[in-house]
Amino acid sequence: MSFIDNVKAKAKANPKRIVLPEGDEPRTVQAAAIIRDEGLAIPVLLGKADAMASVAASTGTDLSGIEMIDPATSEKAKAYAAALHELRKAKGLTEDAAAKLVADPMYYGIMMVKMGDADGLVSGAVHSTGDMLRPALQIIKTAPGMKLVSSSFLMECPDHSLGADGLLVYADCVVNPCPTAEELAHIAIASANTARTLCGIAEPRVALLSFSTKGSAKHELVDKVREATEIAHSLAPDLALDGELQFDAAIVPEVGASKAKGSAVAGRANVFVFPDLQAGNIGYKITQRVGKASCFAVLQGLAKPCNDLSRGCSVDDIVSTVAATAVQAQS
């Protein structure tokens, strides 16, 4: 069974209520119908009723049985606005501004998750990553014990000798542009957790990546990755984790054996932590386009699951991300 089929099977076993704020977007509307038909989750679409109906008609999609809410006329809008004002008044948010924000489907959807009226949210087919992330970070906040929100890209490669039977977890390719050593350590631990809980990788082996392997190059950027490795070791002593490693030393057994002798991770890594967002984002796109990997991203560290789509996403990408969000919501 492929990785994504596994995720879908888990999602089906305990369907969660997932809100889709971009309810008048054609791919989202089509995905909602598939999610309903396959029983992967209980989708809720947000938007203007006539706009959603017109997209459904133009794409030939039957939306019967799918809950649709217009934030501008919803009976819950007042309560959500009051709760949002309470949460953000110390940051200068007025009652009026809170009411205006809640009329925006993105904020309404995030408030549904915050208030327990939805188990998770998926958005980003239209909104930029920053526009999706900001309300999630401001309102949902980090889970207890988590220092920051980051992301894992789940890369399913055609070559099953790589990573965990072809599955590679890449982090952070979405959220933190320039993580400190301490933040990198937290990203490493959170990604190992995602590998375990979402991907079913029983033994995550985490490589903190650099352009140097075990002191082969001297530079302050290398020092940062080494420091991150030390912090991660002290925070999670039982986790198989090593750095700094070059990508080839992390993934190719022979190179790992020659460049990082005795490492429990080198040559066998399945979780790869990039030193910053530029490296991570470029790295996942190379693996996707040149390495022909299929991929999607999940956010980790949020108190409740909210996930971002690429604006170039397909209907299938939305379905997969909703299934993954539902699985995150189960735990």
Ligand X SMILES: CC(C)(COP(=O)(O)OP(=O)(O)OC[C@H]1O[C@@H](n2cnc3c(N)ncnc32)[C@H](O)[C@@H]1OP(=O)(O)O)[C@@H](O)C(=O)NCCC(=O)NCCS
DSSP 174: S
The Cα–Cα gap between 185 and 175 comes to 15
**Is 61 among the residues that bind ligand X (CB under 6 A)?**
no
CB of 57 or CB of 282, closer to ligand X: 282
Nearer to ligand X, 144 or 215 (CB): 144
Residue 134: other Cβ atoms inside 10 A: 15
Nearest to 100 by CA among 114, 115, 81, 126: 81
Three-class DSSP category at 206: strand
Single-letter residue type at 109? G
The single residue among 7, 175, 298, 315 that binds ligand X, judged by CB under 6 A, is 175
Residue 287 makes contact with ligand X by CB under 6 A = no
Site for ligand X contains 138 (CB under 6 A): yes
- State the pairing for strand pair 271-273/205-209: parallel
Q: Is 197 in the site for ligand X (CB under 6 A)?
A: no
Q: Is 312 in the site for ligand X (CB under 6 A)?
A: no
Which region, judged by CB under 6 A, interacts with ligand X, from 51-59, 76-84, 133-141, 203-211?
Answer: 133-141
Closest CB 228 distance from ligand X, rounded Å: 15
- Shortest distance in whole angstroms from residue 302 CB to ligand X: 8
- The number of residues that bind ligand X (CB under 6 A) is 15
Exactly one of 98, 140, 148, 157 binds ligand X (CB under 6 A); that residue is: 148
| Cβ proximity to ligand X, 193 vs 263, nearer residue | 193
Residue from 18, 35, 149, 184 touching ligand X (CB under 6 A): that is 149
- Residue of minimal CB distance from ligand X? 137
Coil, strand or helix at 262? coil
Write phi, then psi, for 121 (nearest 5 degrees).
-140, 145
The answer to whether residue 129 forms part of the interface with ligand X (CB under 6 A) is: yes
Per CB under 6 A, the list member of 60, 92, 130, 312 interacting with ligand X is 130
Q: According to CB under 6 A, which one of 142, 216, 288, 294 is a site residue for ligand X?
A: 142
**Under rule CB under 6 A, residue 31 binds ligand X:** no
Q: Does 281 bind ligand X (CB under 6 A)?
A: yes
Contact 298, 307 (CB under 8 A): yes
Instruction: Compute CA distances 50 → 46, 118, 125, 288, whole Å.
Output: 12, 23, 20, 37
Tell whether residue 174 is a contact of ligand X (CB under 6 A): yes
Smallest distance, ligand X to C-beta of residue 36, A: 28
Identify residues 62-91 at the interface with ligand X (CB under 6 A): 91
CB of 325 to ligand X, least distance (A): 17
> Taking Cα atoms as reference points, which of 9, 90, 103, 23 lies closest to residue 56?
23
- List the one residue out of 169, 27, 113 whose CA is nearest residue 325: 113
Question: C-beta of 286: minimal distance to ligand X in Å?
Answer: 15
| 67-69 β-sheet, strand order | 67-69, 42-46, 17-20, 120-123, 306-308
Which residues are CB-neighbours of 316 under 8 A, at least 6 positions away? none
Min. distance of Cβ 4 from ligand X in angstroms?
20
- Contact status: 133 vs ligand X (CB under 6 A): yes
CA-wise closest residue to 308 among 319, 317, 299, 300: 299
**Rule CB under 6 A: which residues touch ligand X?**
91, 129-130, 133-134, 137-138, 142, 148-149, 174-177, 281
